[in-house]
Amino acid sequence: MLFIVGTPIGNLGDITLRALEALRLADVVAAEDTRHSGILLKHFGISKPLISYHQHNEARRTAELIERLIQGENVAVITDAGMPGLSDPGARLTTECIRRELPFTIIPGPSAILTALVGSGFPMDNFCFRGFLPNKSGQRERQLRAVTEREETTIFFESPYRLIKTLAACAEILPDRQICVARELTKKFEEFRRGNATELLEHYQAHPPKGEIVLLIAGKSH
């Protein structure tokens, strides 16, 4: 059986009983960062072989994990935080299991996307998740210009090292749109900061952001 296991996005207390059960049943745990995931397993007293499974070895590892499943092993897939497959490795393996008719199950867990959406106060009945904004400024601006016509809440992942540039672009492209920066979700310094792009830009220029960030932009009718 393949277990696709959602893991905490910050607070280890958010892990589910089913996730712990799946990890204990696994013969091997495929993890995005074995050092990071080793801390998670050790915290809960779970000792399992860990192998790396990330974007640079996903194709090769998928073949190896499929072979393990064919041989009757239980395989658990986890990422550094949240649900595998969402801007993280995992989707390729699930697709291959479907193609080969191999059994798998999803162990749901915390989601930075939904946590940020609920905490933003923006409309939740219709939203669009677009993953990480592009590194290159031209591509990033094209993504943001596409938001100008969207009526739904748009959600991006963003790096703290690029947030200032992204907010500066938003100030030019989406000056009147309400934005929420959701930062360090479920952790000690969790923050939801709302305002227009200029207000947020001024704040983070004075207080350089740290940690993992979800950027939410309200729809044009909000």
pLDDT at position 220 over 90: no
pLDDT at position 221 over 80: no
Q: Which residues, 6+ apart, have CB-to-CB distance to 162 below 8 Å?
A: 133, 135
Q: Which residue has the tokens 């996903």?
A: 58
d(CA 193, CA 57): 37
Residue 111 DSSP symbol? -
Average confidence score pLDDT of the chain:
95
Percent of the chain scoring above 70 in pLDDT = 100
pLDDT digits (tens, 9 = 90+) for 171-193: 999 999 999 999 999 999 999 99
pTM: 0.91
Higher pLDDT, 200 or 90: 200
pLDDT digits (tens, 9 = 90+) for 46-67: 999 999 999 889 899 999 999 9
Per-residue pLDDT, averaged over 102-126, amounts to 95
Radius of gyration of the chain (CA): 19
Quote the CATH superfamily of domain 2-107.
Tetrapyrrole methylase, N-terminal domain (3.40.1010.10)
Per-residue pLDDT, averaged over 79-87, amounts to 88
Assigned CATH topology for domain 112-217: 3.30.950
d(CA 138, CA 198): 20
User: Where are the chain's structural domains?
Assistant: 2-107, 112-217
What is the predicted pLDDT for the residue at 222? Answer: 54
